[in-house]
Structure 1
Amino acid sequence: MNYLASVGSYAIMIREVFKKPTKWRIMKTLILKEIDELIFSSLGIIIFISFFIGAVVAIQTALNLTNPLIPRNLIGFATRQSVILEFAPTFVSIIMAGKVGSYITSSIGTMRVTEQIDALEVMGVNSLNYLVFPKIIAMLFYPFAIAISMYVGIFGGWMAGVLGGFLTSTDFVTGLQTDFVPFHIAYAFIKTLLFAFIIATIPSFHGFYMKGGALEVGKASTTAFVWTSVVIIILNYILTQLLLG
């Protein structure tokens, strides 16, 4: 029953977010601030993780190609498929659920604890629109970060494969071009947009409706990360079945 009540409260929150919008002059400033906080400040960790994920995929693929009859360009093919289909959109999103989600929950939760949200509502401001809507719009730029993740991941695979002596640069590029399906890029970005919405809203829900003091803010951040990750994984399965099955 508590689970169903939470789902109902979440749906009500999403509906309220788009009601009684804040003035555009104020909203524009809030959106730009959130883009900086949620997207640009995360690019460093995204690039770092993506590079080494691509490198590890390339090395593991190379080490498992023990049959001399299997072409070495399969390393480039496996790196491309792994990075584009799963590691960039899904694995990075789970990392972002921890980094960005915790920030969102703690920032909104702190405002709840310090009664800043109550102050907004007393002034007649739609606090959900003021706090959550800029985060949703900012996360629409999340596919830009995932595109960088894809590029860096494949580059990391190339570096590990070529500099590690597992294959030539020509073989790796040939593998990248082998059996390329453009829809796989669209599939990855469709997933990314839905994950972005989840990362923006579930942590906001846990921060906005939390009760208690400073200790509960930390607990709400942990709970938000767990539920965001669970929803991302389940949604990933459903989208993969629908779009690629």
Structure 2
Amino acid sequence: MGREKTIMDSSKVFFAEIGDMTYFTARFFREAFKPPFEFKELLRQCYNMGNRSLLLVGVTGFILGLVFTIQSRPTLMEFGAESWMPSMVSISIVREIGPVIIALISAGRIGSGIGAELGSMRVTEQIDAMEVSGTNPFKYLVVTRILATTLMLPLLILIGDAIALFGSAIIENLKGEVSFQLYFNQVFDALSFADLIPATIKSFFFGFAIGLVGCYKGYYCSKGTVGVGEASNAAVVYTSMLLFVIDFIAVFVTDIFYG
């Protein structure tokens, strides 16, 4: 009996969370298209999120390209197919590995930062003060951050993919004596719009999910400093799970259209 009650309580909390997040999402779309628009704050958030995440994304992409090529090369050599390395690496990174890994890294960097920042503002009653002063805190704090993550994550993924391919080209140049020109010629021959378009579209959804969950957890943070840590941690955990769900849906839909 006690176990059934615990399961029922957990289910209620889960569905209540889904309902609250759905309302939060609907409110975002309602506020996003209603003037006045906070363009200055949006640009500031885009700069902060993009500039501060660029080094982390670049290092991650470079190491990803190095490791993926080093690990894959011996297997391809066993079958005498090392000439397929540029094609395999480029398709794998652009289609799946690059967007997912960089989105997860950004969830830890950007999502947790948004959750902690808005949580701190809620705990210190800055959001309440904005409401009292007549400012719309949801439009100024939430809408700008969600739009910024939605716009900036595709750019970060594009840069990360390019750096990952450059890292892979370095390994091929050192181990396989393949020139950079030949390597990237094979890369661009292997890639098509069927690879680029779905990956780009789902990267916008990745960015939207990161901003949405981070803002939701921070904006409705519970009182106390403990609540700030919980909001930051929950933002990363929930976003990571949501990214995999979005990725599965994107791959499934892509398979229907291009399969």
TM-score by length of 2: 0.87
**CA shift in 2, pair 1:36/1:179, >3 Å:** closer
Give the number of equivalent residue pairs: 241
Corresponding letter in the other structure for 2:115: T
Runs (4+) of structure 1 exceeding 4 A deviation are none
Residue matched to 1:118: 128
Inter-partner Cα distance in structure 1 for 2:24 and 2:188:
45
1:48-87 correspondence runs (5 A): 48-67=59-78, 69-70=80-81, 72-87=82-97
After superposing the two structures, state which structure 1 stretch, 107-116 or 208-217, moved more: 208-217
Q: Does 1:202 align with 2:232?
A: no
- Whether 1:134 and 2:134 are equivalent positions in the alignment is no
Secondary structure, aligned partner of 2:249: helix
* The 10-residue stretch of structure 1 (123-132 or 29-38) with the greater mean CA deviation from structure 2: 123-132
Partner of 1:168: 178
Amino acid paired to 2:193:
P
Deviation (angstroms), 1:188: 0.8
Aligned-CA RMSD value = 1.8
Aligned twin of 2:191: 180
Deviation at 1:172, TM superposition (A): 2.9
Partners of 1:76 and 1:175 within 8 A in 2: yes
Higher relative contact order (CA 8 A, sep 6+): 1
Change (3 A) 1:22 1:180: closer
Look up the equivalent residue of 2:100 and give its one-letter code: T
Cα offsets for 1:11-65 (capped at 9, x unmatched): 21122233385634xx122112101221121111101100110111111111212
For 2:31 and 2:162, locate their aligned partners in 1 and report how far apart those are by CA, in whole Å. Answer: 38
Say whether 1:232 aligns with 2:243: yes
The letter of the residue matching 2:202 is K
Amino acid at match of 1:13: F
Instruction: Name the structure 2 match of 1:2.
Output: 13
More helix by share: 2
Report the Cα distance in structure 2 between the residues aligned to 1:179 and 1:146, rounded to whole angstroms. 19
For residue 19 of structure 1, what is the aligned residue in structure 2? 31
| Farther off after superposition, 13-22 or 105-114 | 13-22
Higher mean C-alpha deviation, range 118-127 or range 31-40: 118-127
Q: Does 2:99 match 1:89?
A: yes
Asked whether the 8 Å contact 1:34–1:138 carries over to 2, the reply is yes
Q: Is the 8 A contact 2:153 2:206 kept in 1?
A: no
* Kept after mapping to 1: 8 A contact 2:69/2:171: yes
Q: Residues 112, 64 of structure 1: CA spacing in aligned structure 2 closer, same or farther, 3 A cutoff?
A: same
Give 5+ residue unaligned stretches, structure 1.
none
* Identity %, equivalent residues: 27
Please say which of residues 174-183 and 147-156 is displaced more in the overlay: 174-183
Q: Is the CA contact 2:112–2:236 (under 8 Å) kept in the aligned structure 1?
A: yes
Q: SS in structure 1 opposite 2:221?
A: coil
Quick one: distance in 1 between partners of 2:154 and 2:14?
Answer: 30
Per-residue CA shift, 1:102-140, capped at 9, x if unaligned?
Answer: 110000000000001111111233221111111122121
